[in-house]
Structure 1
């Protein structure tokens, strides 16, 4: 997490401090919550609380169960897991948080494995002999990541490692410590291992949890600037050296109320990271509405709330428009639980515009930096204009373009439209579907691209992009009785009244969905067929699909990967 947007003060103590003021009610929640409106597979949510969450019945978490599909769970070295090197690493906080999240159908963004700025605050780690640092870091990363292996969607492997202008950095732009001159404090990780600590952290995390997406998480790198240049170059260097880095988390703390984010620059920056093949995540978004020392007497006015609403909506739109971006996660989502409400630390907001100097925000400040007021159990959670602006953007987005893959051997299970040669030898689309392996060749085929069209909350049609007019995924009638739903699937032209072309998507908690056809739902689960059994008697996945009754099979779980709309023809 970034605990100040530009100039990090290492003496800051993070904590959730309850505020005492809520904004007037802005209106009731509608039936469609944010999680019902996001594209399938896109994560929306926020941080669920501290590492040592004492209870899971807090108002924000109860609210999250109805509103979101993803949470961020926090655990890093100075805050409980390993306060005493003579004791075992305490994984219970992380495990309990992740278990709660998964049992409630959330995808888990886990934060953080290596955080040099916070680790330097831990006396026993700071005093560790350099020749013991690598083994200590490896033990921590391996223990924490393996304790929840298979249940974490994304791990922040390293956090806030790229230097700001004015920091002491190495040739790759890595910050090597805090402060400068006589006040410089070296990062223990860098002092002992140099930049190798980053590479090895990713390797240890990959070994401990092979299925998790592994990212570097960074602040103030959302726009195209010197820092994001350094970040992109370093991520490419890691990948080119074989480091298992999958993507980048952009924190998106926007706390200077004098101006709105540079949205075109953010779009362009996200695109250049996507062009390099990195997965992108908005991980810690909060946007100040005002800065006040007296939240009761000086709450944000209507103009400030509208500016905040525009910023939340535009950042969400950027995430939705960029297929490589997989999440919009907030650091807090209610004002009264926000780290930016009634703060107990000093913030320095370094303005990048000519004619403005740094702004010092003293302790005791409040920023109303989330889309929801309330949240402390006393003041009810109430939507602000920012919430409705986000909801409006999502409601207006009724279609996306995706690839679909089955949970049963995903590498060979991408849903595709069958083609055949016509009399001239050119391939034309057929009505049948099958499962294809995704490779450099098939990645260019429009037959693997599907337009997903929202019919209503949780219900979609799927239209293949190798079009001939009969493009919609349709359950076929029984061969024995045309008025009865059968088990086979084919492509047909659109009929808006047909339930056979409507699919209910049921989230499975890991980003996957069961696809249930609305024509006879109990036996309408979209399923990858087996092609027989191997010598050991295990079923082998085949290239065909049909519908079956709902069962606890990976062949009935489907994953949606958003892609660009424009694809070359087959």
Structure 2
């Protein structure tokens, strides 16, 4: 039913821009010519789009590729709040209108992105002192003005973007939540529907594509909206992936459960990055990722669009963003810097051709080659025999950057004091990939366990403890914070996260004693974490505990039993992180948040 509605929507939209013509007239398939993605997408009655910006319209190759290969475009930044309303009550539609004109001239559908977001908030709003009612009116007027201006011309909008905190721990602490409360999301959807009752309205987010704590939180929110009649039509799955890490089965399962609610899903921001060089093997595997994700979408009756976050690698946000991505030469899209199609281009065309009932573009052997992953760089840890420098120690000496022996059973009380940590080995962390000149920040940590929990202690030496400048659940790494990583899957060679691998980012903001601890990081919502944080004479101290039995792992402390383990320290002296200290010697470039094979080991040791 959704695909039938989608076909009707395509036809209506094409009729509005083709006066006296048809979609077939617009893009005739030439005999013996290579069919473009756009031509094959049209044959599937399917949207295949790209994020676009008029800042690149001076590049003739960019314009030609965008119009030739895609039947949909998404404004990359031109429709965001800070772009459209840089000053209160003063709207600037020039760039957005230029994009709209391009779409109209090239018979492309525009996917509106986005109306409400925690980023791209203009300074006047971010630093303003608005009451709840004032903030509601600001949001209402912005949505009415923007959606109303393009009513009947933009058939779908990302109404709210990235409202759920990483780990699925509720709504992130955005300016909108601070001003209005949790109901701002629902209000935004109601306002958008009032402004254009015919527009399809989407919630859009990242790291919620498969089955995990965050996608569960998204599902719970939209299920509640559907049950209460809040106008919502779909969920956008951003799909910023790393090569080889897409869980197609999990994505399909998530799409199905959203479809069971009567909701569409769309792949809205697809790119596929990697931290290493652009080898032929990497680009082949990348092609397999694109092919499999598109196939998953096409085979899901409620998946109605696939959008890449950009046209060419040349202008990819991954090369210019300050998000910490470490490969400035990454090639995450379908076209390279010279607009030459990459293996992923033919992979996309092949699955579109097959789905339309046409002859395959690739042979079965070529398709099979795309599923062969290059051999990952897996760290093999060789440890010396356990040794105690001090016989009073409850466990052997740690192996620098490689292994920590955690004594058990040890009675630990989370109270911010260290008297119960006596004779437990300490490790001092004072080196890392990012350190300011004359750095004086360091951390001493220790680990122990009892029959129920693993306990972490971190004593941070920092002359100026910074917190409260960023969201402590989603941007904790830009402030003073510690990170503990655990791989409890039993496979210490994993090169990608899966259930049982967690990154626990614990910010110094926990000093404020929140009702629920601030904990962020990949899969952090999968396990319960208890935290106590206190100021000290030299900085701050974190004590934390994680259960040995959770929904994603069941571990029993036995002598020499091993977990993957890693420790980081983030330090800030101003508005952003300027210090990054790392324990594991195998992680030289801050990649543990994506590659657990870079962890060291946590080895249980029966005390004495």
Structure 2: distance between partners of 1:111 and 1:30 = 34
Deviation of the 1:250 alpha carbon: 0.3
| 1:233 is the counterpart of 2:220 | yes
The corresponding residue for 2:399 is none
- In the other structure, the counterpart of 1:345 is 322
Secondary structure at the residue paired with 1:46? Answer: strand
Corresponding residue number in structure 1 for 2:128? 127
Partner in structure 1 of residue 51 of structure 2 = 47
Q: How far 1:117 moved relative to its partner?
A: 3.0
CA distance in 2, matches of 1:69, 1:336: 21
Tell me the equivalent position of 2:349: 391
Residues 295-334 of structure 1 mapped to structure 2, 5 A cutoff = 299-334=277-312
Q: Structure 2 length as normaliser, TM-score?
A: 0.51
Which is richer in strand? 1
Q: Contact conserved, 1:141 with 1:201, CA < 8 A, in 2?
A: yes
For the residues of structure 1 that align with 2:97 and 2:144, how far apart are their CA atoms? 14
Mapped partners of 2:81, 2:74: distance in 1: 18
Does the Cα contact within 8 Å between 2:53 and 2:78 map onto a contact in 1?
no
Post-superposition Cα deviations, 1:305-354, rounded to whole Å, max 9, x if no partner, equal 1110100110110111111101010011310011112x34133xxxxxxx
| SS of the residue 1:215 aligns to | strand
Deviations 1:447-467 (A, max 9, x none): xxxxxxx6999xxxxxxxxxx
Query: 1:117 is paired with a residue of what secondary structure?
Result: coil
**Offset, 1:154:** 1.4
Cα deviation for residue 58 of structure 1 reads 4.1
Report if aligned partners of 1:291, 1:365 keep a CA contact under 8 Å in 2. no
Partner of 1:291: 275
Does residue 174 (structure 1) correspond to residue 171 (structure 2)? The answer is yes
Distance 2:300 2:106 in 1: 28
Q: Secondary structure at the match of 1:163?
A: coil
Q: How does 1:458-497 map to 2 (within 5 A)?
A: none
Deviation by residue 1:44-63 (Cα, 9 ceiling, x = unmatched): 0201116xx47466422221
Aligned partner of residue 286 in structure 1, secondary structure? strand
CA deviation digits over 1:125-158, x for unaligned, max 9? 4323224211111111111111111011210000
Q: What is the CA–CA distance in structure 2 between the aligned matches of 1:143 and 1:105, rounded to whole Å?
A: 24
Matches for 1:402-421 after TM superposition, within 5 Å: none
The Cα of 1:269 is off from its aligned counterpart by 1.2
Q: Is the 8 A contact 1:95 1:147 kept in 2?
A: no
Confirm whether residue 34 of structure 1 aligns to residue 18 of structure 2: no
Tell me the SS of whatever aligns to 2:232: coil
Counterpart CA distance in 1 for 2:56 and 2:254 is: 39
- Corresponding position: 1:194 with 2:181: yes
Distance 2:37 2:211 in 1: 29
- 2 CA distance for matches of 1:456 and 1:332? 26
How far 1:33 moved relative to its partner? 0.5
How many aligned residue pairs are there?
Answer: 327
Contact kept, 8 Å, 1:47 with 1:331, in 2: the verdict is yes
Where do 5+ consecutive residues of structure 2 fail to align? 1-31, 362-608
Quote the residue 1:263 is aligned against: 248
CA separation of 1:143/1:56 partners in 2, compared to 1, >3 Å: closer, same or farther? farther
Q: State whether residues 101 and 108 of structure 1, in contact with CA within 8 Å, keep that contact through their aligned partners in structure 2.
A: yes
Corresponding residue number in structure 2 for 1:144: 146
* Structure 2 contact 354–360 (Cα < 8 Å) conserved: no
SS in 2 for 1:110: strand
Separation in structure 2 between the aligned mates of residue 113 and residue 188 of structure 1, nearest angstrom? 14
CA deviation after TM superposition for structure 1 residue 261, in Å? 0.8
Are 1:371 and 2:334 matched, yes or no? Answer: yes
Tell me, what secondary structure is at the counterpart of 1:373? coil
CA–CA distance in 1 between the matches of 2:141 and 2:290?
A: 39
CA distance in 2, matches of 1:265, 1:344: 28
Q: Residue 542 of structure 2 aligns with which residue? A: none
Quick one: which of 112, 115, 120 aligns to 1:118?
Answer: 120
C-alpha deviation, 1:232, in angstroms:
0.6
In the alignment, structure 1 residue 218 sits paired with structure 2 residue 200:
no
Using the TM superposition, give the Cα deviation of residue 112 of structure 1 relative to its aligned residue in structure 2, in angstroms. 0.4
Query: Would the aligned equivalents of 1:252 and 1:283 in 2 still touch at CA under 8 Å?
Result: yes
Does 1 or 2 have the higher relative contact order (CA < 8 Å, sep 6+)?
1
Quick one: distance in 1 between partners of 2:318 and 2:156?
Answer: 25
Q: 2:82 & 2:194 partners in 1: Cα distance?
A: 24
CA deviation vs aligned residue, 1:170-205 (integer Å, no higher than 9, x gap): xxx222x2xxxxxxxxx2211122122111111111
Map of 2:443 onto structure 1: none
Where does structure 1 lack aligned partners over 5 or more consecutive residues?
Answer: 1-28, 178-186, 293-298, 348-360, 375-379, 400-453, 458-570
| 1:461-515 deviation line (CA, Å, top 9, x unaligned) | xxxxxxxxxxxxxxxxxxxxxxxxxxxxxxxxxxxxxxxxxxxxxxxxxxxxxxx
CA contact 1:75–1:112 (8 Å) conserved in 2: no
SS at match of 2:301: coil
Aligned-pair CA distance for 1:40: 3.8
Q: Is the 8 A contact 1:251 1:282 kept in 2?
A: yes
1:156-175 alignment, distance < 5 Å: 156-165=158-167, 169=169, 173-175=170-172
Kindly provide the CA deviation profile for residues 208-241 of structure 1, in whole angstroms up to 9, marking residues without a partner as x: 1222110000111110111111101100111222
